[in-house]
Structure 1
Amino acid sequence: MRHPVSPPVPELVAAVRRALDGGPAVVPLPRVTRGPLPAGTALVVRTSGSTGTPREVALSADALRSSATATHERLGGPGRWVLTLPPTHVAGLQVLVRAVLAGAPPVAAPDARFTPDGLADLLEPALHGAGGAPVYLSLVPTQLHRVVAAASDGEGRPLRTLAGCAAVLVGGAATSPALLARARDAGVRVVTTYGMSETAGGCVYDGLPLRDVRVRLASPDPSEPPVARAGSGAGGDRVGVIELGGPTLAAGYVGDAAASDAAFRTDHRTGERWFRTSDLGRLGPDGALAVLGRADDVVVTGGENVAPAAVEALLGELLGGEACVVGVPDREWGQALVAVVAATSPSATGGRGLEPLGDARLARVRAAVATRLGPPSAPRRVYRVPALPLRGPGKVDRRGVVDLVREHESHD
């Protein structure tokens, strides 16, 4: 489960401990930018590059401590952390930070490849040797999907073992409601998280911000006042760009002052510093944040705007598995809405590439989506695939999905 180019976990843990105490910054991957680090930098973490060239984010010891302490408070107290994510990404590194602050070394495996059986082998001794302390871990949705799928194939030990954990943080990408329901029905205490490298990892748990974290929805025009703010009682049906504030914010991007100034801004009306994400969201009456997907993922088909996240969640409910909805160039529609759904079990597709749904089933799926979300949201075509292409830990590569569809359809 260890990233092949990362330092050994014990070395990283020791480096994280020194950095939190004011020592040299931890840089788990070779630098891709030049220039000095901002004063007080404890960790330099590389973004996943969803907008192009990866950036390096500078996080202070205070930001890391604030995030880890608020996480422990939300979960019910410090515990034993199990590392299942690459310790070169912020989610994996935060497992190490939490472990250091909890005073218990993280449980990690030397194997770089995640498998459900490997997870069970890792968790069982951790659960038995915790001495009553809670056991926590972080997963990405793809990992949770594989554990649930293994149970569907008759390998129930990984899911049963996962249910023994006090909390299983799941983040890094959207998790389908159907997958969450199946995991929770099996007794897994799933906590969904939302955040990014620029916020020291997850800072919104189950839709609610951690202590001292601020959430608001902003107008697409950054110069206009915010649309709504968590805790204000406003929100309802209004949709806006998600902005996050509080003590977990990064200092900025290393060696890219222009990008830092564009993303991290101080509100002249309140003096508060905010990070402007690329995601759209909605705030409920209780202040819970619903993430609707990236603003630049919106597909314009036949002149109508379709947000893929809502369609993906419904397809997960209807078909099972993880769905990715993309726009594919089309002469009639401009962009045709196409869905690719990972099979619940790899054997369900026979191990082949894209397999289209049969006409009758496609018609039923389209009708169900049109009824729930409106006709423009009904995908023109739906394919099953053994697994979706990924970039970074658990993040679906949408460009890769588009390429898969175009390559498949060019041969039809």
Structure 2
Amino acid sequence: MQLISHVAHLLDGGAGLWLAPGQGQAPDGCVVVATSGSTGDAKLVVLHRDALTAAARAARERLGFDATWHLTLAPQYVAGLMVLVRGHLGDGVRTAASDLSGLDPAPGRNCLSIVATQLYRALESPSVTAMLARFDAVLVGGAALRPELRSRAEAEGVRVIETYGMSETCGGVVWDGAPLPGVEVTLGERGRIGIGGPTVFEGYLDDSGALRPSAVNGMVVTNDRGHFEAGRLVIDGRFDDVVISGGVNVDLAQVRRAVAALDPDTDVLAVDDAEWGARVVLFATSGTLASWRDDLRGTLPPAALPRQLVTLDALPRTGGGKPDRGILLGLVQS
């Protein structure tokens, strides 16, 4: 893959690299990626090679070994990009399909980075599951990892590490709730999560191509809320996930967890509603609204139950593997 050599050239001191959609000029020594844009507001994120290198070295320190890294995610987004960076600084990169077919562990240590949906589908195939169990570490990020899904994987011998991070931090820099070496995690008002350290981005590119630094005192201030439990970070959801429906606060993160426990190929949004203020909408590939409400009734309070079901052949996803909420919202509003 030509992109592997381009990333290697950047890390070895070459010129900037543009990976975001469209055309543009990357600042010297930097790569430009787009956020996954699950809500349709993708931004151009500028990551310096020093930050990429710091993130990869911190991952190596946490693992305790060098490895061959296997690419199954779009390399234009940060999760895939970091596979290339870790592999360049480690024992190399191998590629496989997004459905994990064609995985071919190299001699020595092997690691993989995937999203939860890939893990769920892999566990439906005994042969792919057996292949995953041969890896020394399987990083799972991009969205919350359900405990029951993790337990299923680990029961099959898959060495799972749940990661948390974002494009602005060079991807997942909190592993199983513990920051990687050199990474700082803080909690602000109402549990707002901040991430600092050497993996923080340079800033965003505006429409004119100018760099706009956006870290606050060296910290990426996220829109996520969380708390520490036994010294480890627990993600509670996003601030914009709390809506008011029928005069009652509804936490969409809680709804998504309950729905995903029944079927991970789903998503939940809230839209304006003249009667309820906000209407909870469920997107799924099967079922009826009545059956979903019945199945969720013992888990969710009445106000949090979906009031509309949109049935799809398949859930649209971004290149980073997240549900494409811009497309989903358009289906409701069209």
TM, length-normalised to structure 2 = 0.89
Question: What is the Cα deviation at residue 83 of structure 1?
Answer: 0.7
Q: Note if 1:187 corresponds to 2:118.
A: no
Residue of structure 2 aligned with 1:105, choices 69, 87, 92:
92
Q: Tell me the SS of whatever aligns to 1:146.
A: helix
1:330 paired residue number: 273
Alignment-derived partner of residue 231 in structure 1 = none
- Aligned counterparts of 1:379 and 1:57: Cα–Cα separation in 2: 35
What does residue 22 of structure 1 align with? 13
User: Does residue 30 of structure 2 align to residue 45 of structure 1?
Assistant: no
1:362 paired residue number: 293
Deviation at 1:31, TM superposition (A): 5.4
Go from structure 1 to structure 2 and tell me whether the alpha carbon gap of 1:402 and 1:12 turns closer, same or farther (over 3 Å shift): closer
Change (3 A) 1:27 1:406: closer
Matched length: 333
Corresponding residue number in structure 2 for 1:269: none
- Equivalent residue for 1:301? 245
**RMSD, matched Cα:** 2.6
Letter in 1 for 2:30: A
Could you tell me whether the CA contact under 8 Å between 1:299 and 1:305 is conserved in 2? yes
Residue equivalent to 1:6:
none
Q: Distance in 2 between matches of 1:307 and 1:33?
A: 39
AA aligned to 2:112 is L
Larger radius of gyration, structure 1 or 2?
A: 1
Post-superposition CA distance 1:244-277 (Å, at most 9, x none): 100001111134799844x3111xxxxxx11111
Alignment correspondent of 2:173: 203
Deviation at 1:105, TM superposition (A): 2.6
Partners of 2:248 and 2:212 lie apart in 1 by 33
Provide the rounded CA distance (Å) in 1 between the counterparts of 2:260 and 2:6. 41
TM-superposed CA distance for 1:364, in Å, is: 4.5
Q: Distance in 1 between matches of 2:156 and 2:321?
A: 22
SS of 1:368's equivalent in the other structure is coil
Assess if the C-alpha contact under 8 Å between 1:299 and 1:337 holds in 2: no
- Long gaps (5+) in structure 1: 1-8, 220-238, 267-272, 343-348, 350-354, 408-412
Pairs within 5 Å for 1:124-135: 126-127=104-105, 130-131=106-107, 133-135=108-110
Cα displacement string for residues 288-321 of structure 1 (whole angstroms, at most 9, x for unaligned residues): 222223322322211222221122112333x243
**Equivalent residue in structure 2 for 1:339, among 257, 282, 296:** 282
Deviation at 1:52, TM superposition (A): 4.4
State the one-letter code of the partner of 2:303: P
**Partner residue of 2:80?**
92
Following superposition, the deviation at residue 51 of structure 1 comes to 5.5
User: Do the aligned partners of residues 368 and 166 (structure 1) sit closer, same or farther apart at CA in structure 2, a change above 3 Å counting?
Assistant: same
Q: Residue 146 in 1 paired to residue 118 in 2?
A: no
* Letter aligned with residue 326 of structure 1: L
Q: Which has the higher helix share?
A: 1
Q: Deviations over 1:361-402 (max 9, x none)?
A: 6335223322xxxx4333335566553221232111234334
1:3 equivalent in structure 2: none
Residue in structure 2 matched with residue 378 of structure 1 by the alignment: 305
Q: 1:400 aligns with which of 312, 327, 330?
A: 327
Q: Given the alignment of the two structures, is residue 283 of structure 1 paired with residue 228 of structure 2, yes or no?
A: yes
8 Å Cα contact 2:73-2:114 kept in structure 1: yes
Measured at CA, do residues 386 and 287 of structure 1 come closer, stay the same or move farther in structure 2, by a change above 3 Å?
farther
> Gapped runs of 5+ residues in structure 2?
none
State the match for 1:78 in structure 2.
66
8 A contact 2:71–2:113 mirrored in 1:
yes
Q: Secondary structure at the match of 2:297?
A: helix
Letter in 2 for 1:336: R
Any conservation in 2 of the 1:33–1:255 contact (CA below 8 Å)?
no
**Alignment partner of 1:156 is 2:88:** no
Percent of pairs with identical residues: 41
Measure how far apart 1:56 and its partner are.
2.1
Change (3 A) 1:23 1:177: same
Q: Secondary structure in 1 aligned to 2:117?
A: helix
1:179-198 deviation digits (Å, cap 9, x = unpaired): 22322222211111111111
**1:100, distance to aligned residue in structure 2 (A):** 0.9
Residue type at the aligned position of 1:306: V
Alpha carbons of 1:401 and 1:81: their partners in 2 closer, same or farther (altered >3 Å)?
same
- Normalised by the size of structure 1, how large is the TM-score? 0.73
